[in-house]
Chains A and B, each alone.
Chain A
């Protein structure tokens, strides 16, 4: 939802990032304000997931230029765990399995770590159990999630639900959902989307990275961005997603290239 007097949560300017010497993000600009839901779409290999991981601070990516401000703070000054504690949350495209570690323990540790950072009360195992079960009801998650090891042997849909559960627990200021919809059946998609919608509020921003328009039937974005070759080449309303669904991405790229030719030609004059 677009609110008046909303504050800027994320401001990305001229971001360039590479992995193993190959430039993936090229001069990327992006702004998200509180309350807004942004969808980033684009063909495979356009840099969407890289952008999500760079925001979270993944060490595989080298930032070559540009800036990222998160609530006014320079994100590059913060280690990945400090970013998380500051309120940046990434729902992983491929959530990692942690054998031997009970989900309940993991969830409590992450919850308490973030609570401590915010100067809020930490919960003991019994209190936490009550608390997390409430959240799980909201997301229609089976109670056996707590006893299983973190993501170990989870189906694709269960892993994604576990991500959204963590998001619900941590109450992040910026939630980046990296292809959370891929590999989900219709029911799972509906449940997860409802979960995200319940968590969306006027103080937080949500960035959805997705391939498919269908997610956007459930989570209605305020802005749809098309990413190609490492930068955002078009921004529109939710209708843009519908148009992409019928026409594909090629026309957007063509339009962008034509425009940029005009731009450079113009500059040449």
Chain B
């Protein structure tokens, strides 16, 4: 609760800090604000409170998800030093919007009332539309923003319709009311409830880019400035899955038999679409977009096989995925700046050729994050997949497990293309100068990935 208020105020403060002559204060200020919010969040650890007239529920699960969101945001902001050099950029506004979007994400994580979910989704989405189009001189950025906006509002429409139907059936927006309605209906709840649930699900699945609602993802991720792509693919995804988990586990676990088939089918489709299409890509950034779709697929396994293990598995996987993704985009930012074709940074695989020669650290960081995304042991990604898969085993979903394992094998192919490019291809990559703080963030993310890979219990202890 406190972080939500703090971040809203800090966002406004940042807007006004933008009027100062020196832009240099913005980055440290934004980082500081996020850290304060992070600390404030833990004040409510081990207490469970309802806020705003039962609109918002803050418990340990919500705090953990918020922490992942805040850590991701912290890293993204920390990697954003370039804004301060760009004349056209408006860092104060970017940072303020980032902070506001975190507020939205935190509402999505801790909502207890569907209205709160809607408000959160909208705050996050609108912020993302703006950030996607923030590179105003770039036509693709504009196109991506418009596409995202149109598709996003379309999906929001469905979600809102679903909520209205739920209200029609239950007479309340509160999750626990929906639950008790289902329990009291003796297995025959109104048809409106089913319709409503499906439509809300569809709206949320769009936000986390699950197939077949994923078409916008590659275009938007590729068009948006790389940094915001990193933000979108981590924060939005984490918040989206937290919201879905909350919705399904609190309200709809009683009618699991109704929705799990659909979710399982969507999981399978997402895994197939994400992994298979990623194989064909030549642009690293676009590959990462498909990879984010495929990871949505893995995370969906945890929801489709909703059970005891789902919570910790989803939290762990989100963290592992966020760490690896942000460091990968961080490296991409650095590398793409080196070569430009037609004034655009080169984001293809070939940009990474021979990176290990002169930049062993960067190559190592990227290699570790690729290994983690591919789910190779001794990285956090491996344990994330392991936990999700064992959740599926608990539910006896063998076929989806087989598909997921096969698709992970496909994933190894496209993730390793980068590693091969870095270590085995000849390239003329010169030494890239990296700011110490930037370097620190990359090393910290890599270290955390490895530590969680070796000692997953460290994190399970916290849960």
- Answer yes or no: do A and B interact: no
Q: Which residues of B are in contact with A by a Cβ distance under 8 Å?
A: none
Binding site for B on A (CB under 8 A): none
